Amino acid sequence: VGRPNVGKSSLLNRILGSKVSIVSRRPQTTWREIDGIYTENNSQLVIVDSPGMHKRQKRLLSKVANQSAHGAGSGADIICQVIDARHWNQEDQRVLDHFAGRGDGLWLLLNKVDLLRSPELVLPRIEELQRKHSWGQ
């Protein structure tokens, strides 16, 4: 889960090694949940790509996508909040607030780390985010 355009679909495609989810620079490309299945040996992991969660919903399709995002992970063992490592904003906080009751079942995934101005910024960013919530480990 995460706000629009943090790279949820790109991450799913990368993990699965194939294009399962549509990717675009335009926010709100994903309109419904998309399931991807990662298989290794005798184990399978179902990964669900969800629409971005956002506050503003003027169009009906945006409202439907947002409802889908808010319901994401209802049957999941683990929910991964994907964020853009360059910055945390109010929409990221709203996503965290929505899923915070999951305790250890909520993990944080920093995406776009390669776009940080300097690799030395990664650890301070992680420390900052650890103060916001006790993420699962």
**Which numeric CATH code is attached to 8-130?**
3.40.50.300
Q: What is the pLDDT of residues 59-78, one digit of tens each?
A: 555 555 555 555 556 678 88
Per-residue pLDDT, 132:
81
* N-to-C CA span, the chain: 17
Selected residue with higher pLDDT from 69 and 47 = 47
Of 135, 103, 110, 105, nearest to 124 (Cα)?
110
Q: From the CA atom positions of the chain, what is the Rg in Å?
A: 15
Q: For the chain, how are helix, strand and coil distributed in percent, rounded to 5?
A: 40, 20, 45
The span from the CA of 118 to the CA of 30, in Å, is 30
Q: Can you tell me the mean pLDDT for 12-18?
A: 93
Asked if pLDDT for residue 114 goes beyond 80, the answer is yes
Q: Which stretch of 41-50, 53-62, 126-135 has the lowest confidence by average pLDDT? A: 53-62
Interacting residues of 49 by C-beta distance below 8 A, sequence separation 6+:
8, 9, 12, 20, 21, 30, 33, 34, 35, 36
State the pLDDT confidence band at 131, using cuts at 50, 70 and 90: confident
